[in-house]
Amino acid sequence: MKTFASGFWALAIGILFPLGGYGQAAAEGQFAVEIQATGEKGPNYTVTNLSGKTVWACVIELSSSTRAWKSRTVWDALLQNEPPIEPEARLLQYLSHEVGGPRPDKVEVIAGVWADGETCGQSEWVNIILQGRARRAAEFGQAGAILQKGLEESGTSEQYL
């Protein structure tokens, strides 16, 4: 029974914290962004991975030249149950904006984490990505402990609920 919990925890850690160095490189030149003001489902933008490596997570910053504001979105394949962005592949996202306010006219990737564990961009935002993954790993650990206890005590589905 302890093997199950140990294996579950190792799997969670391995998925959420890929092996590799924790390096910082600039995000510029690693991604291409294109804004589509009109689209089938409304305005959107695409992020193309130019890095040559698979991207597991990134932080996207939206801003407007007509108004001093910025909005940032953390996109993480693991936490959003989506496939990572392979080299030359695109991520399509809705172009969100404040109702009645200007639409963003600048979209850029300010941080990213590749599948090999390397990172790029602003360290503050790289840390936010990694902290989100750490929280999820802790949640997996708690779920594993509950499941393990249920297995050890021959728990029923009613007890889990």
What are 48-94's pLDDT values in tens digits? Answer: 999 999 999 999 999 988 878 888 999 999 888 999 999 999 999 98
State the pLDDT confidence band at 148, using cuts at 50, 70 and 90: confident
Q: What is the CA 15 to chain-centroid distance, rounded? A: 12
**pTM attached to this predicted model:** 0.72
Q: Mean of the pLDDT values across residues 80-109?
A: 88
- Assess contact for 143 and 85: CB atoms under 8 A: no
- Assess contact for 141 and 6: CB atoms under 8 A: no
SS3 52: coil
Alpha-carbon distance of 42 to 39, in angstroms, equals: 5
pLDDT value at residue 76: 94
